[in-house]
C-alpha cells in the first residue's frame, strides 16, 4: 500500500519511540501511567508534528483508558493510539469523490504556497479523473511565476488534455474566465484551475484568489465546486500556519498533503486535520502522475504510528 511510504527513512517508528521512552514500566499500566511517561509520550508526539491540541487529546484519552483498566498491555496502548489518530483524521467516507455541478462543468480550484506541489497535483488530478472518464480541461491561472504556464502546458500535453492560458503577468481572474468559457463551449466535465502561490504581498494573493473565486462564481453558478489546498507534508507546523492564511481566500473544501515520500513527517496531517475544519482528500507521494492516493485515515494512522514494526 502506497501510504506505508509515509515512514520510509524513519529509523524508529513512533510506536517504537513511545515504547522506549514512555512505557518504562509496562507492568505498572494497571496502576495508571507515571507522570514522567506521560510527559515523554507528549514529547514524542509533539516532535512528530502532531501539534499541541491533538497531542493533548490523544494522551488525555489514553490516561483515561488506562485508569479505567481498558488498556492492560503494550499492544492495547498501541492499538488505542492508532484508533485515536484514525478518528482524529477521519473525514468524508469517500474523500476522492468530488462535489459535482448539477449540470455543466464541475470547477476545481487548486491553491497553496509556491513549491508545495500545486501544479504537480493539478496534473495528477487531471490524469486520475481522465482515467475515470472525465473530459478534463486545465487552466493556467498562475500568471505570476515565470515558467508556471509552460510547466502546466507540458503536463497537459503529456496527459492529453487541453490547457487554457493567458500571457505571463496577466490577470488570473481573466484567464479563469476564459477557461470556463472554453469548458462550456467544449462541453468538458471537469475544469481544474492552477493558481499562483506567491505575490508581492500575502494580502494581495488572498485578494487575487477571492477575485478568481468571484469571477468563477459569476460565470458558473455554484462554482468553484471544490477548492483543494495543497500543503507540503515536510514542513510540519508551518503547514498549519499556511493553511490558516489560505482559509481567508477561497474556503478550502479539502486538503492535498504532498511530499509524503522520502523522509516526510506525516504527523503534520494530524495537526492539520485537528486544527482546520477541512478534510484531507489526497496524498502526494512523488513527482510522477501515479503518485497520488486517496486519503485513507485508518491506513494512514497505522502507517504513521507503527510502520516498520513487527507487531
Nearer to ligand GDP, 45 or 243 (CB): 243
Which letter, b or e, does each residue of 246-281 get, where b requires 16 or more Cβ atoms within 10 Å of its Cβ? beebbebbbbbbbbbbeebbbbbbbbbbbbbebbbb
> Considering only residues 148-177, where is the footprint of Mg ion by CB under 5 A?
148
| Position 120 contacts ligand GDP (CB under 6 A) | yes
**Residue 242 near Mg ion by CB under 5 A:** no
Block residue for cell numbers 527513512: 9
Euclidean distance between CA atoms 128 and 84, whole angstroms = 31
Nearer to Mg ion, 62 or 289 (CB): 289
Q: Report which of 121, 124, 103 is spatially closest to residue 113, judged by C-alpha positions.
A: 121
Query: Is 118 a residue that touches Mg ion (CB under 5 A)?
Result: yes
Position of minimal CB gap to Mg ion: 119
Contact between 3 and ligand GDP by CB under 6 A: the answer reads no
Instruction: Return the residue of 259, 265, 273, 281 that touches ligand GDP, per CB under 6 A.
Output: 259
Q: Is 119 in the site for Mg ion (CB under 5 A)?
A: yes
Q: Exposed (0-12), middle (13-18) or buried (19+): which is 156, by Cβ within 10 Å?
A: buried
Would you say 148 or 289 has its CB closer to Mg ion? Answer: 148
Least distance from Mg ion to the Cβ atom of residue 211, Å: 19
Which of positions 281-300 make contact with ligand GDP (CB under 6 A)? 284-287, 291
143 in helix, strand or coil? coil
Cell, residue 200 = 508581492
Q: Is 197 an interacting residue with respect to ligand GDP (CB under 6 A)?
A: yes
Of 144 and 177, CB closest to Mg ion: 144
Distance CA 4, CA 2 (A): 5
Is 17 near Mg ion (CB under 5 A)?
Answer: no
Which position has the grid cell 487541453?
Answer: 162
Binding site for ligand GDP (CB under 6 A): 112, 114-120, 197, 258-259, 261-262, 284-287, 291
Amino acid at each position: 500500500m502506497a501510504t506505508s511510504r509515509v515512514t520510509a527513512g524513519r529509523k524508529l517508528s513512533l510506536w517504537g519511540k513511545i515504547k522506549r521512552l514512555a512505557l518504562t514500566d509496562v507492568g505498572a499500566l494497571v496502576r495508571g501511567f507515571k507522570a514522567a511517561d506521560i510527559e515523554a509520550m507528549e514529547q514524542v508526539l509533539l516532535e512528530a508534528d502532531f501539534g499541541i491540541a491533538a497531542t493533548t487529546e490523544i494522551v488525555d484519552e489514553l490516561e483515561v483508558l488506562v485508569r479505567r483498566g481498558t488498556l492492560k498491555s503494550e499492544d492495547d496502548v498501541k492499538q488505542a493510539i492508532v484508533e485515536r489518530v484514525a478518528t482524529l483524521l477521519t473525514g468524508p467516507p469517500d474523500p476522492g469523490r468530488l462535489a459535482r455541478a448539477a449540470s455543466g462543468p464541475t470547477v476545481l480550484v487548486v491553491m497553496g504556497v509556491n513549491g508545495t506541489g500545486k501544479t504537480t497535483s493539478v496534473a495528477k488530478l487531471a490524469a486520475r479523473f481522465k482515467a475515470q472518464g472525465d473530459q478534463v480541461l486545465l487552466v493556467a491561472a498562475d500568471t505570476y511565476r515565470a515558467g508556471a504556464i509552460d510547466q502546466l502546458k507540458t503536463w497537459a500535453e503529456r496527459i492529453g488534455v487541453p490547457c487554457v492560458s493567458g500571457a505571463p503577468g496577466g490577470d488570473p481572474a481573466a484567464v479563469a474566465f476564459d477557461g470556463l468559457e472554453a469548458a462550456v463551449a467544449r462541453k468538458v466535465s471537469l475544469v481544474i484551475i492552477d493558481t499562483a502561490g506567491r505575490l508581492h504581498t500575502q494580502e494581495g494573493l488572498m485578494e487575487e484568489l477571492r477575485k478568481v473565486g468571484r469571477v468563477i462564481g459569476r460565470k458558473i453558478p455554484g462554482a468553484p465546486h471544490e477548492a483543494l489546498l495543497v500543503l507540503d507534508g515536510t514542513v510540519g507546523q508551518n503547514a498549519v500556519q499556511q493553511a490558516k492564511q489560505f482559509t481567508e481566500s477561497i474556503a478550502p473544501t479539502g486538503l492535498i498533503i504532498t511530499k509524503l515520500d522520502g523522509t516526510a513527517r506525516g504527523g503534520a496531517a494530524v495537526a492539520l486535520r485537528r486544527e482546520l475544519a477541512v478534510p484531507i482528500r489526497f496524498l502526494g507521494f512523488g513527482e510522477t502522475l501515479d503518485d497520488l492516493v486517496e486519503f485513507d485515515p485508518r491506513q494512514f494512522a497505522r502507517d504513521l504510528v507503527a510502520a516498520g514494526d513487527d507487531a
